[in-house]
Structure 1
Amino acid sequence: GKPDVIVLMSESFWDPTRLPNVKLSPDPMPTIREMQSGNVFSPEFGGMTANVEFEALTGFSNAFLPYGSIPYQQYIRNPIPSLATFFRGEGYVARAVHPFQKWFWNRSAVYKAFGFDQFKSEENMPVMQKRGIFASDESLTKEIIRQADQLRDPFFFFTVTLQGHGPYEANRYAKNTIKVEGNLPAADKQVLETYAQGIKEADDSLKMLMDWANERDRETIIVLFGDHLPPLNTVYPNSGFMNDVTASRKGSLEQMKAQHETPLVVWSNKTGPVKDIGSISPAFLSYQILKQGGFEHPYYTGFLGNIFEKYPIIDRYMLVDAAGKETAGWGRKKTIPPLI
């Protein structure tokens, strides 16, 4: 039979143990660390979730759009092929799930244009428990399970979480269970403790979803990735992670990876985690998802697969080939690789 597919784009999900001169204990993301397949090289930093989502769902890249574009608000006016259209063509229920208002980022109109059957948002889902001011990952995960258990047809769920959203105020949670050590100002330490607690709860929620999937007969593919690094503000310069509170637009590959990589998990209840995917642009997620599901498609696996083999990262500023060699400022050069 056909596998069920659940994609979780986890709000501001990142590995905070990448911060130098800071120790977090215990590890806030043991499940994801064990299951990690690679990284997503996010085109954004600290925000602009919708642009990452656009790449993940369509296989198109923001690198070819004018700087500062927001496709969800500017370009999507008519039906446009996406993973939702693909899965519906395969007889799936295709559903978008996000525990916030449906007008935000124009999602209601965009998801319709993308071919989703339904958009489950704050307006048409049961009231969710909050952690801080946002719906918790735990309650969202329980809702995903509840919806999945009601379906007989194979389904594709695209879920955008909310709990991890900034700002990371000091007393968001009554109790933080991740200890932060290191030479940081008290305010930064509190921000990082709040953030790390959210990471722990996102990790716990993924484990809950995997435990549920492991009890199911049907193959269930779960994909989780962070949309961008969190807006941790002065934590970044004060820990020595980077000079400023926001990412630089240009830099060495090492620097760009540090400022743009978020964890990626591609996992199946039948075969476990896919390993060694490496660092990839979100535009290649559709390729990875369909490949894992055993599907073939001229665009998502054919065309994108061919490009992925040569250039796994296509960023506005930087092109990175399969050998890990970067071409900075590629868009302004006299000759652009024909494949691109």
Structure 2
Amino acid sequence: MKNLAKRVSSHPIYTCIFTAIFINLIIEILGRKTFSDFFNYIFKSPIVFFYNALIILFTLSFSFLFKRRKFVLFIISAVWLGFGITNGIILRCRVTPFTATDFRLIKNGLEIASSYLSPFFMVVIGIGLLALLVYLIILYIRGPKLKSSINYKKNGLAIIILSLFLLISTKVLISTNILADYFGNIAFAYLDYGFPYCFSNTLLNTGIKKPSNYSKETIANILNSDIAKEDPILIASNGNKLTTKSNEDLPNIIMIQLESFFDPTLVKGLSFSEDPIPYFRELSNNYSSGYLNVPSVGAGTANTEFEVISGMSLDFFGPGEYPYKTILKETTCESVNYTLKDNNYSTHAIHNNTGTFYDRDFVFSQLGFDTFTSLEYMANTDTTPTGWSKDYILTDEILKALNSTDKKDFIYTISVQGHGHYPSEALLDNPRITVSGLESEEDTNSFTYYVNQLYEMDNFIKDLTDVLSKLDEKVVLVMYGDHLPTFDLEDEDLLNNSIFQTEYVIWDNFNLPKEDKTLEAFQLTSSLLNRVGIDNGILNRYHNNSSNSLNYMVDLELLQYDMLYGEKYIYNGETPFIATNLKMGIDTISITDAFEENKQLFIRGENFTPFSKVYINDEEFETIYISPQLLRVDELTLEPNSTITVHQLTKGGTSLSYSKEFIIK
């Protein structure tokens, strides 16, 4: 054994092979709930396990090209192990695993890390990273270095041969269905096909791949269907003229995406001291309602949001991809906003969370919103024990948006109160609703916390409909859950047998007929617009006219590719949608006066919030929020002709907007 160990450690190829297998073992153990799950994976899918080790081996082989071979080998190994550890941590905070898309969410993740990880754990992570950095420096300085020259041709050829073997293995395993190149459920895919393969897929497989039958003719065939009739966008030479409907009889449209909202009584074996969502259930019994098939579970709010707003399906994008972080950074996109703008609507977004999360402060302009009211523009906020904003504050913001224009309004609201992580300790004193049927006290505490947040969200829905019912203009209100909460639920745990289903209900104040049906998230808006008599917009009309077609999803993929990545034949070669000049907040933040008193600067104005920060001559100063009309800066003496502005800053320090300059005379 000593001789074998000596031979292995002395030969770089053997070292890489054993290192790759060891790293893969650690990664897969961390990515599973129990050791028994890991052993089931190993014995049921040994070929998949060694294929994933081959992927790691391929990356390790690049160390052959460096004289400091052990240093490079250690760095690559540390990266893989770091990915594995990160995946393990993420899986304990949400249901979906670590993907390459998460790199684009690092800033957002850091902003909410304290809601998931304890300060002690964050300190441990920081110490671990610092220790790793110190070790890397020592290894670089004192580690071994090849004295002989490197045979780049020989080593490069070895890497090429290994890459070809990996490529052939991949194609063979996919063709024999041992691996899959499409992930219907990314969480299950990671368990079935291994972390290295699935993570690599999320890194390399993004966007919508060009369909094999994509051409001007295939798009023309879709245009010749019913969706083309009387829709000028499909026949006008410039592709940007739409028929504007008179909207006198059209309703204001409000959509509320409820964070992690679903019916907890669907969980088998649980009982509750009282119904957590009595009002939502009453609405479901009396108004149009049904199940909503969403693209994510436990996380991925922005992807459900994207499907609802755009009418596009996430099925055709890369696994784990967030279009908000990829294609919508580059282009505008057909959406319900642009459809409604052609019917003379104003469009608003509201979210009681930070405005930069998922880059909404930019992406919402690409989707056609006129205004976006994020948490930074809300003066009166209240939070849950875990720090998320409560939803009842949204009622006033919705009314403010409704009253902000003389037009009919489309208001898309994203709630946050139901957001995880759900604490395993008993944070609530005398909770209104108690839960029984769970095995551990920790799970009982988590679910108790969750259902009591649901109960408050249900009260918010009731208060909102009570207010809206008193309006003298038509209103239709759609409410739905974005995804299931971050519990370890599986299909067999639910009465409806799907962890990808939430519920929706459509309330109105003008007696729309009740019509219950199950919908895909990307069909929800089109179904609603159809019911209120709005039939323009390509995807809107397509969903309503073609959903029963045998080629429904095939043609939808063609349309989505053409609109976002292709030649835009459907728009006669040019996207007709122009990004809006997104206004942050409904009310304008302004300074009316500034004066000094006892080395304190007082700023008078309008519509200040706790997120308002005073800048003097473009330098930020510590600001005390006193009221929506008054701010204060302490220990300050101003010079004549100083300029003052008030910025709305996120917790991460990003300025979302700022007031006009006020000059001190």
TM range (shorter): 0.7 to 0.9
Q: Output the amino acid matched with 1:220.
A: V
Contact persistence 1:99–1:162 (CA under 8 A): yes
The question of 1:72 aligning with 2:324 is answered yes
Contact persistence 2:351–2:413 (CA under 8 A): yes
CA distance in 2, matches of 1:282, 1:25: 32
Residue number in structure 2 paired with 1:53 = 305
CA distance in 2, matches of 1:174, 1:220: 38
| Shift in CA distance, 300/207, structure 1 to aligned 2, threshold 3 Å | farther
Name which of 158, 162, 165 aligns with 2:419. 165
CA distance in 1, matches of 2:546, 2:496: 22
Instruction: Show CA shifts across 1:42-85 (max 9, x none).
Output: 11010011111110000010011121211100111222121111
Residue number in structure 2 paired with 1:17 = 265
Contact persistence 1:128–1:140 (CA under 8 A): no
Give the superposed CA RMSD: 2.3
Contact persistence 1:145–1:209 (CA under 8 A): no
Name which of 173, 181, 193 aligns with 2:436. 181
CA distance in 2, matches of 1:177, 1:224: 24
Name the larger-Rg structure: 2
The question of 1:289 aligning with 2:528 is answered yes
| Shift in CA distance, 240/305, structure 1 to aligned 2, threshold 3 Å | closer
Residue number in structure 2 paired with 1:29 = 277
Instruction: Show CA shifts across 1:200-258 (max 9, x none).
Output: 1111111111111111111100001101000024xx47x9727xxxxxxxxxx964xx2
CA distance in 1, matches of 2:404, 2:356: 26
| Shift in CA distance, 47/75, structure 1 to aligned 2, threshold 3 Å | same
Q: Aligned with 1:130: secondary structure?
A: coil
CA distance in 2, matches of 1:70, 1:52: 10
Q: Aligned with 2:296: secondary structure?
A: coil
Residue number in structure 2 paired with 1:93 = 346
Q: Output the amino acid matched with 2:349.
A: A
Q: Note the 1:317-332 alignment, pairs <5 A.
A: none
The question of 1:193 aligning with 2:448 is answered yes
Name which of 137, 140, 144 aligns with 2:391. 137
Instruction: Show CA shifts across 1:92-123 (max 9, x none).
Output: 11011111112111111110001100111122
Residue number in structure 2 paired with 1:262 = 502
Q: Aligned with 1:259: secondary structure?
A: coil
Contact persistence 2:262–2:481 (CA under 8 A): yes
Instruction: Show CA shifts across 1:175-217 (max 9, x none).
Output: 4211212243111111111111111111111111111111111
CA distance in 2, matches of 1:297, 1:240: 41
Distance apart, 1:260 and its partner CA: 1.0
Q: Note the 1:294-305 alignment, pairs <5 A.
A: 294-305=533-544
Residue number in structure 2 paired with 1:317 = none
Residue number in structure 1 paired with 2:610 = none
CA distance in 2, matches of 1:174, 1:152: 46
Contact persistence 1:94–1:116 (CA under 8 A): yes
Structure 2, unaligned runs of 5 or more: 1-247, 554-665
Q: Number of residue pairs matched?
A: 297
| Shift in CA distance, 176/35, structure 1 to aligned 2, threshold 3 Å | same
Distance apart, 1:308 and its partner CA: 2.9
More helix by percentage: 2
Structure 1, unaligned runs of 5 or more: 243-252, 315-340
CA distance in 2, matches of 1:33, 1:309: 29
Contact persistence 2:308–2:522 (CA under 8 A): yes
Instruction: Show CA shifts across 1:137-175 (max 9, x none).
Output: 111223222432444321111011010000112445444
Instruction: Show CA shifts across 1:259-298 (max 9, x none).
Output: 1110101121111673312x21110012122123221124
Q: Note the 1:199-214 alignment, pairs <5 A.
A: 199-214=454-469
Contact persistence 1:213–1:220 (CA under 8 A): yes
Contact persistence 1:3–1:293 (CA under 8 A): yes
TM-score, length basis structure 2: 0.43
Contact persistence 1:266–1:273 (CA under 8 A): no
Once the two structures are overlaid, the 10-residue window that deviates more, 68-77 or 139-148, is 139-148
CA distance in 2, matches of 1:81, 1:172: 44
**What fraction of aligned residue pairs are identical, expressed as a percent?**
28
CA distance in 2, matches of 1:310, 1:203: 37
Residue number in structure 2 paired with 1:326 = none
Residue number in structure 1 paired with 2:361 = 108
TM-score, length basis structure 1: 0.81
The question of 1:6 aligning with 2:254 is answered yes
More relative contact order, 1 or 2 (CA 8 Å, 6+ apart): 1
Q: Aligned with 2:332: secondary structure?
A: coil
More strand by percentage: 1
Q: Aligned with 1:176: secondary structure?
A: coil
Contact persistence 1:265–1:273 (CA under 8 A): no
CA distance in 2, matches of 1:240, 1:188: 18
Contact persistence 1:98–1:120 (CA under 8 A): yes
